Amino acid sequence: MRVIFLGPPGAGKGTQAKRIMDACAIPQLSTGDMLRSAVAAKTAVGVRAKEVMDSGALVSDDIVNQIVSDRIDMDDCKSGFILDGFPRTVPQAEALTNILREKGLDLTAVIELRVDEDALVERMRSRVAETIANGGVVRSDDNPEAFRTRLHEYREKTAPLSEYYAKTGELKTVDGMADMDAVTASIRKVLRLD
Ligand code: AMP
């Protein structure tokens, strides 16, 4: 099974992707997590990406396309994977189509979590409070200014992907405002996991 999760920052993509990953025993490929690891390890990509990520802007398509293409070649992706946070621009979606075609793979579904944008800033604040309460490290882009930029980037560059995947017939929309278990149930239904 090969699935893409689409939705704005704070829509719950990461949480839902983890649940489906556990249910299907396939990895969650989060470009955000991969880039944060590169930043922490101070790799060449990490050094280039850090400032852009901290501002809430998007890292260049070339960097993320390569990271994803390399990651899909790894053994644990043989039975499938969940893409969380990629693609985020139309050129990335086009690159992914080519990457999958070259590898002889296809997509099972593109799941869009539709959420009310007014709720997103509040969700980000709750995530920060929860992380602090659990003694975790708050993401450097989970602050009001970077979050505004992340939302802007989403509206400008990522939202058009709904239309892109509607045209390919792969888009499935799920109500992301329902409680977490109900959202998981809707996704399971779309993926025919029950
Ligand atoms: P995320 O964890 O998905 O919210 O991503 C955190 C940050 O990583 C984003 O704000 C971007 O700076 C960068 N990033 C993650 N995925 C991508 C992507 N597909 N394209 C460009 N930048 C990305």
Residue 89 lies in a domain: yes
pLDDT tens readout for residues 28-64:
999 999 999 999 999 999 999 999 999 999 999 999 9
Residue 139 lies in a domain: no
Can you tell me the distance from the alpha carbon of 62 to that of 58, in angstroms, rounded to the nearest whole number? 11
Residue 15 lies in a domain: yes
pLDDT tens readout for residues 73-131:
999 999 999 999 999 999 999 999 999 999 999 999 999 999 998 889 888 899 899 99
Cβ neighbors of 6 (< 8 A, separation 6 or more) are 13, 110, 111, 112, 113, 158, 161, 162, 165
Helices (H), the chain: 13-24, 31-40, 44-55, 61-72, 90-103, 118-133, 144-153, 160-168, 180-190
Give the number of the atom of ligand 1 that is nearest the alpha carbon of residue 68.
Answer: 19
Residue 131 lies in a domain: no
Residue 33 lies in a domain: no
Q: What is the pLDDT of residue 83?
A: 97
Ligand 1 center to 116 CA (angstroms): 21
What is the span of the domain harbouring residue 174?
Answer: 2-26+79-115+161-190
> Could you tell me the two tokens for 154?
């989403």
Residue 154 lies in a domain: no
- State the CATH number of the domain containing residue 179: 3.40.50.300
Answer yes or no: are the C-beta atoms of 56 and 149 closer than 8 Å.
Answer: yes
Residue 85 lies in a domain: yes
Number of domains in the chain: 1
pLDDT tens readout for residues 3-25:
999 999 999 999 999 999 999 99
Cβ neighbors of 48 (< 8 A, separation 6 or more) are 59, 63
User: Is 155 an annotated catalytic residue?
Assistant: no
Determine if the peptide bond prior to 87 is cis (ω within 30°).
Answer: yes
Residue 106 lies in a domain: yes
Ligand 1 center to 173 CA (angstroms): 21
Q: What is the mean pLDDT of the chain?
A: 95
